[in-house]
Amino acid sequence: MPARLLLLCLLTLCAGPALAQSHFNILVYHHVAEDTPASTTVSPATFREHLEYLRDNNHPVIALQAALDAVRNDEALPDGAVVITFDDAFKNIYTNAFPLLQEFATPFTIFAATDPIDQGFNDMLSWDQLREMQEWGATIANHSRDHDYMVRHTPRDNAWREAMATNIRHAQQRLEDELGDDIPRWFAYPYGEYSAGLKSILQNENFVGFAQHSGGVYSGSDFLALPRFAAAGNYARLETLSTKLNSHPMPIDLSSIPDMPTTESQPSMTIRVDDTSDMSQALNCFVDSSWQDAQWIDEQQFKLSAPEPLGTGRHRFNCTAQARSGNFFYWYSQPWLVLEE
């Protein structure tokens, strides 16, 4: 990492008016452009607005490695700390986002699928462009070989496990071949889809996993499926993004979290919160975009169910609770992948 970025990261970790409890929020982008799919796109002008907002509203952007090291070691992070990531390695990251990231001296990570780069797809980054950004200070990490729907393959047996492990190893090797041996063992699940079986492969391969459901990261997070806040499409508006940037992760008992894939058309979850002392008991929950009442079973457990059948594909339960100690929310998101029986 160049000296200017190293200095920036050290300053954001060491300085600061008030160091808060060790947590941070991750933003995930895909396209920074004007002519790409709306759901995964933020315009260059809006991306600039995001960077200006972070700079002007006490949200220091820090390198992902520094953030992970801090929470795993229970070291303090600046209040409002943010990490910026990109999935898929589209060329417009280089042409439209990179100049702005340089201007704002902002560290960032790109999760790259390697086959499209090797095949020279026109809309994807080249290895030379990735090397240039890496030399500036960007981190490049693993997004699989081919960006396939890894969880939807059936049967998910030993042959599937070996195929998925081979896919991840191949991508990691290509990244190391092109960019050097210091590629971190981080893996962003294609489409944000994961399962207990896929997580166990990452665990065996010594990877940290990154998903696409919302929420913050702290020492009690699931490091095989870390959440990230989407910051493109409908989620790019600063009016709502600012609430997410100020949120804290809800301290969930990991053993109570259900697996993402389900064949139930009306999934339900019963979640145990490790510490509710700073949380309002008034939960604000949504099934996809529709508000839904959640029921407290006791002082630490609540239940939320889909009120009607969900279609096949990805869905999400989001729950927030107002903090008693400040003007922010505790946030938990449960992703679902509804599969046919």
Chosen domain end from 247, 269, 288: 247
Q: How confident is the model at residue 21 (pLDDT cuts 50, 70, 90)?
A: low
Instruction: Name which of 70-74, 96-100, 131-135, 151-155 the model is least confident about.
Output: 151-155
Please state, in angstroms and rounded to a whole number, the distance separating the CA atoms of residues 236 and 19. 27
Chosen domain end from 247, 280, 301: 247
Chosen domain end from 201, 229, 247: 247
One domain, residues 205 and 267: no
123: domain CATH number is: 3.20.20.370
Read off the pLDDT of each residue in 49-77 and give the average, rounded to a whole number: 97
Q: How far is CA 21 from CA 80, 242, 247, 273, 278, in A?
A: 10, 19, 12, 18, 13
Backbone φ and ψ for 231, nearest 5 degrees, come out as: -130, 20
One domain, residues 104 and 235: yes
User: Model's pTM, two decimal places?
Assistant: 0.93
Counting Cα atoms < 13 Å in the Cβ hemisphere of 252 gives 27
| Helix, strand, coil fractions of the chain, as percent rounded to 5 | 35, 30, 40
332: domain CATH number is: 2.60.40.10
What pLDDT, on a 0 to 100 scale, did the predictor assign at position 324?
96
What pLDDT, on a 0 to 100 scale, did the predictor assign at position 154?
80
One domain, residues 109 and 215: yes
One domain, residues 37 and 134: yes
Please state, in angstroms and rounded to a whole number, the distance separating the CA atoms of residues 69 and 57. 24
Q: How confident is the model at residue 234 (pLDDT cuts 50, 70, 90)?
A: very high
Residue at token pair 């086959």? 115
- The residue segments making up the domain with residue 276 are 254-338
The total domain count for the chain is 2
One domain, residues 201 and 268: no
Q: How confident is the model at residue 6 (pLDDT cuts 50, 70, 90)?
A: very low
One domain, residues 241 and 283: no
One domain, residues 220 and 271: no
- Tens-place pLDDT, residues 41-59: 999 999 999 999 999 999 9
One domain, residues 233 and 296: no
